[in-house]
Amino acid sequence: MIPGDQEAPDPITAETVRAEFNDPRLAAHYARAAYNLGLWASERWLIERWLPDRSAPLLEAGCGAGRVALGLWELGYRNLTAVDFAAGPLDHARSLAALRGAAIRFAAADVTELRRDLFPAGPAPSDRFAGVLFMFNGLMQIPGRDRRRAALREFRAVGRPGATLLFTTHDRDDDFREGPWWAAEADRWARRCQDPRLLEFGDRYFPDALGGHTFMHLPTRAEVLDDLAATGWTPRFDRMRRAIAPESHAVREFSDECRFWAAGLDGDPVP
């Protein structure tokens, strides 16, 4: 190494992301949202349209501090399992559920290894879920496209025939204001001058308002469609949030514009 040079930082991994979400400041931030914000209007519309059966077994992946799981409970859904791989937010979720009398099953699980973590002996037909939710861009906080596809395959493996998957992503082609930034980023990647922590074009790792950092992959719509096709999911619906429902100022302050997705499982689950 040339004297004076600094060693390049390590690439972002799942452990990087886990550590970020276990930061007490971020865990408390999401706990406040779970307590005060609840479901967005657009989330409620998507859930009630695509998962109308309140008795159906549902899995919420990446539940964090429980904002969506508790919102589902308040809508009358009573067969809920919620998982996350970060212990700090899960502790908040369990505490808030107990406070509200919500009988939600919370578990520690890595969504890229759901069968291992939830069903070590393999999911029985009665264990499978009628719906899986991965809201607030959680899928895109998994570093590496192979691992994101692994999560989609795990959702298929624990879903029933006909199961529905609901999730959100950013869409880097949607926001014209970001166009110049992404053009410059493409040039950086072409010259191999990109942030060495990033794995793929579309990755961002930026400081957040709480003094930490946030990893996010911002895909194109075509990229998400390819990932669904590669993992056995059939796209049913996608639309930007602003076209679904107007959101409160509090929601818009909490979250950026995103694309909502619904996909279906037509064939048999993965054996």
- Res 110 pLDDT > 80: yes
pTM for this entry: 0.95
**What average pLDDT does the chain have?**
94
- Res 8 pLDDT > 90: no
For 53, the domain range is: 39-57+69-78+111-172+180-264
C-alpha distance from residue 137 to each of 147, 215, 250 (Å): 15, 11, 18
Q: Is 205 helix (H, G, I), strand (E, B) or coil?
A: strand
| Distance between start and end Cα atoms, the chain | 49
The single-letter code of the amino acid at 1 is M
The single-letter code of the amino acid at 44 is R
pLDDT digits (tens, 9 = 90+) for 67-99: 999 999 999 999 999 999 999 999 999 999 999
Of all residues in the chain, the percent with pLDDT exceeding 90 is: 90
- Res 2 pLDDT > 70: no
Largest pairwise CA distance in the chain: 64
The H or E element that residue 58 is part of is: strand 58-60
- Res 254 pLDDT > 90: yes
In a domain, 222, yes or no: yes
- Res 271 pLDDT > 70: no
* More reliable by pLDDT, 176 or 46: 46
Spatial distance between the Cα atoms of 87 and 93, rounded to a whole number of angstroms: 10
C-alpha distance from residue 201 to each of 166, 251, 268 (Å): 24, 28, 33
| Number of domains observed in the structure of the chain | 1
In a domain, 104, yes or no: no
Residue 48: partners with Cβ closer than 8 Å, 6 or more residues away: 75
- At 266, the pLDDT band (50, 70, 90 cuts) reads confident
- Res 51 pLDDT > 50: yes
Of all residues in the chain, the percent with pLDDT exceeding 70 is: 96
In a domain, 92, yes or no: no
pLDDT value at residue 195:
96
* More reliable by pLDDT, 5 or 170: 170
Q: Which token pair is 228?
A: 């669904």
pLDDT value at residue 176:
86
CATH of the domain at 248: 3.40.50
In a domain, 203, yes or no: yes
Residue labelled with tokens 């904002």: 67
The single-letter code of the amino acid at 198 is L
In a domain, 147, yes or no: yes
Residue labelled with tokens 């957040």: 208
Cβ-in-10-Å burial (0-12, 13-18, 19+) of 180 comes to: exposed
pLDDT value at residue 267:
61
- At 3, the pLDDT band (50, 70, 90 cuts) reads very low
Q: How many CA atoms lie within 13 A of 118 on its CB side?
A: 28
Residue 208: partners with Cβ closer than 8 Å, 6 or more residues away: 26, 214
pLDDT value at residue 210:
77
In a domain, 243, yes or no: yes
Give the number of other CB atoms < 10 A from CB of residue 192: 7
